Amino acid sequence: MGAERIADDKTLIWSGEHWIAYLQDHSNQADRGRVTLYSVAYSSAGEGHVAFVDIPHEKFIGIYTDNSDLAEFMIKTVVRGTNNNNFYKHDLPIFDATITRQGDIRTTPSWLIEAEDGSVEVTWNSIHQPLILEGPGPMTDNSAVTYSLLFFANEATISFNGKSIGGVTYVRDQWIRAIGRQGTSAVFALAETTTTIPIG
């Protein structure tokens, strides 16, 4: 008997990778550094990379991208209204950048963000086996992540202009809504796909 074919009227919004690294000095303190990076394989604004970066003590904050149209698309379509982190609610400046991935994705993957006002390198270490998310996940504005491979990491580092900013990963309760349990503040999602979800 052949496999059943499943078809529906979902509409693809974007698909690609989503990388997160938030570091603190100690629990319940403000983040020492935050990077959320989208590596987009498909969207209506094309493909490319968009990184939201906040390193407070270096006053290095903004949206860094190699596709400004994609940055605007991700701000309006993916980030605004879908994230309870106030950082992403702010109007941040958008800067041109060269964004490249390095390292072995199985052990120590990293991203290098190079812009006129500085460079940031983020590395993930001590990576767990993937959680396979077959959604839909939590809905926002009739859209949701419908598939993702989540790789949580126990450790991560963020460097600014070649120097580590310090800090460690921590447990985030925000993951409970999406996966039913806590997760770390360092994670990357491969094959992340967001679609509209038909109502009714």
DSSP string, 44-65: TT-SEEEEEEEEGGGTEEEEEE
- Print pLDDT tens along the chain (200 aa): 455 555 567 899 999 999 999 999 876 688 999 999 999 999 999 999 999 999 999 999 999 999 999 999 999 888 865 554 556 666 899 999 999 999 999 999 999 999 999 999 999 999 999 999 887 766 676 778 889 999 999 999 999 999 999 999 999 988 888 788 899 999 999 999 999 876 65
Indicate whether 2 belongs to any domain: no
Range of the domain at 73: 12-196
Indicate whether 4 belongs to any domain: no
107 Cβ neighbours under 8 A, 6+ residues apart: 125, 127
Q: What's the rounded Cα separation, in Å, for the pair 186 and 167?
A: 12
Q: What's the rounded Cα separation, in Å, for the pair 95 and 117?
A: 9
Give the pLDDT confidence score for residue 4 in this predicted structure: 58
Spatial contact of 157 and 184, defined as CB atoms under 8 Å apart: no
Indicate whether 117 belongs to any domain: yes
Indicate whether 3 belongs to any domain: no
Indicate whether 177 belongs to any domain: yes
Domain count, the chain: 1
Indicate whether 7 belongs to any domain: no
Give the pLDDT confidence score for residue 8 in this predicted structure: 67
Give the pLDDT confidence score for residue 1 in this predicted structure: 46
Indicate whether 1 belongs to any domain: no
pTM: 0.90
